[in-house]
Amino acid sequence: MTHLAVSKTYKLFIGGAFPRSESGRTYQARDNKGNFMANAALASRKDLRDAVVAARKGYAAWSKATTYNRGQVIYRIAEMLEGRRTEFIELIMISTGASSKEAAEEVDTSIDRHVHYAGWTDKLAAVLGSANPVSSPHFSYSAPEATGVVGILAPTGSPLLGLISVIAPVITGGNACVVIAAESDPCVAMTFAEVAATSDVPAGVINILTGRISELAPHLAAHADVNALDLTGTSVELRKALEQAAAETVKRVYVPKGVPDFMVAPGTARLRSFLEIKTVWHPTGALSLSGGSSY
């Protein structure tokens, strides 16, 4: 008896759930040889707005979580990736044509990258904060705080490691994100969404959409409730228009220098880009009775 292959249809990942696109549209994801892999949801502007609403709700809880708790959650993602290591290796090989060794290296580095950022959550204040010398009777302290909702355009060519390398630093700092996955390879991105859904990440902290970058990115850049934008996965031609749209609502915009090499140590540039530094002044001595101030 011949087995009938059942094609998979990936949905969107919004608010911890997997809804279909409200438009009902899909597109075909293909491997590096052009063969059909699966159907992927073609997200609409409405789906994008829903994802931003979910991210805002997720941010409210995630930004207030302790740094220790955030580290535990991000480490849990690494544990879940380790448990599905073989599945991701096979998926990357089919999707990109990578060798078994290359795919395994990408998956293993992705797992290590989460462990790396899990260790950063409770060190941000020590590294990026400071006690400031001031010429007045005050204590002055600066500490990093999350920016809010970050829109991310995922890079192409590195379906798992590239995706993780743009998401992990954003959530490490307490932000929530709305990610537009690489249009050419939605399968790995949505499989990672399944990992996020079955880990301890609160609903809404990570939201992943699949679809047309040219259709979704301008609305993400212009959305008034998105606080920052990572343009790693954009073309040079589209980038200028997105930066102009982001400027209308005074968004922080991160643009990598050159072509990122995600296999090397990530540094702190992305971490710094999506954090606000809050400075607090507190009077000393007799003046302390009047209370402190901040900006």
* Cα distance between residue 12 and residue 132, in whole Å: 45
Q: What is the pLDDT of residues 152-206, one digit of tens each?
A: 999 998 999 999 999 999 999 999 999 999 999 899 999 999 999 999 999 999 9
* Cα distance between residue 54 and residue 177, in whole Å: 9
Domains and CATH numbers, the chain: 9-294 (3.40.605.10)
State phi, psi for 294 to the nearest 5 degrees. Answer: -150, 165
Q: What is the pLDDT of residues 54-93, one digit of tens each?
A: 999 999 999 999 999 999 999 999 999 999 999 999 999 9
Q: What is the pLDDT of residue 282?
A: 76
Average pLDDT value over all residues in the chain: 92
State pTM to two decimals.
0.91
**Tokens 């290590």, located at residue:** 112
Q: What is the pLDDT of residues 12-43, one digit of tens each?
A: 999 999 999 999 999 999 998 999 999 999 99
Tokens of 50: 């829903």
The identity of residue 101, as a single letter, is K
Sign of the CA dihedral running 266, 268, 269, 273: positive
**How many C-beta atoms surround the C-beta of residue 159 within 10 A?**
29
State phi, psi for 83 to the nearest 5 degrees. Answer: -70, -20
